[in-house]
Amino acid sequence: MLLAGGCFQVPMWYFLTLYMQDGLGYSALETGLGFLPHTLLTMLVGLQVTPRLMRRADDRVLVAAGSAVAAAGFLWQSAVAADGGGTYAGDVLGPAVLVSVGGGLLNTPLTTTVTAGVAGADAGAASGLLNTAKQVGGAVGLAVLAAATGTHGAAFLAMAVMLGVVAAASRALPARRDAPPPPDVPGRSGQPSAGSRRY
């Protein structure tokens, strides 16, 4: 979540804003409108597609797939940002599709993995830790990228690398801890066994 926040939380919007204003000559209003495809597509995938996929695929697979797709989008964005002097459709909209689809696939399974199986008394702490990691990732990611990269293209390339690390690290995530147990395990099929009832 720290690494993902270091890409999506703040840095992506910051460097895209600079690119659209400096590279494409957009006004502040035009730049804001230019973000609509990112927002709408991320919401569409996150709300309509990802929940259906989560019923059929392991969360870790979706985290890895979303990270890889978004990394490809940032890699594409790094190439066009390095060239400069292009168009919105060619330089922003194309990469936005991959970045937004990847972000929509990534966020919900990752959040579910972090918070699943947490006792009710600890739910607030788990949620707070998750959001803190995301916010700190965004702040530190922006500071590091702004200091270490001299161009928009280099910043987007660094984000692609970070998401590649997220995709690789997703293999170490735990399985969903609130997943239903296998039906053939005695006493864990949803009904308590005779010896496990609480009175």
Give the pLDDT score at 91: 87
Asked which of 25-39, 112-126, 166-180 is least confident by mean pLDDT, the reply is 166-180
Mean pLDDT of 74-90: 80
CB within 8 Å of 167: residues ≥ 6 apart = 63, 64, 65, 67, 68, 71
Residue 173, judged by CB atoms within 10 A of its CB (0-12, 13-18, 19+), counts as: middle
Q: What is the DSSP string of 150-187?
A: SSHHHHHHHHHHHHHHHHHHGGGSPPPTTSPPPTTSTT
Confidence of residue 178 (pLDDT cuts 50, 70, 90): low
Mean pLDDT to the nearest integer, 185-191: 49
| Predicted local confidence at residue 188, as pLDDT | 46
Residue found under tokens 């979706």:
62
For every residue of 9-25, DSSP letters joined together read TTHHHHHHHHIIIIIS-
Say what the pLDDT of residue 196 is: 45
> What is the reported pTM?
0.81
Instruction: Give the pLDDT score at 40.
Output: 95
Write down the pLDDT at residue 186: 52
Residue with more model confidence, 52 or 114? 52
Q: What span, in angstroms and rounded, lies between the C-alpha atoms of 130 and 95?
A: 27
Name which of 11-15, 84-88, 93-97, 124-128 the model is least confident about. Answer: 84-88
The pLDDT, as a whole number, for residue 176 is 64
| 41 vs 117, higher pLDDT | 41
Higher pLDDT, 116 or 6: 6
Q: Tell me what pLDDT residue 183 has.
A: 54
Q: In whole angstroms, what is the distance from residue 134 CA to residue 122 CA?
A: 19
Least confident range of 27-31, 118-122, 159-163, 168-172: 118-122
Give CA–CA dist 32/165, Å, rounded.
Answer: 30
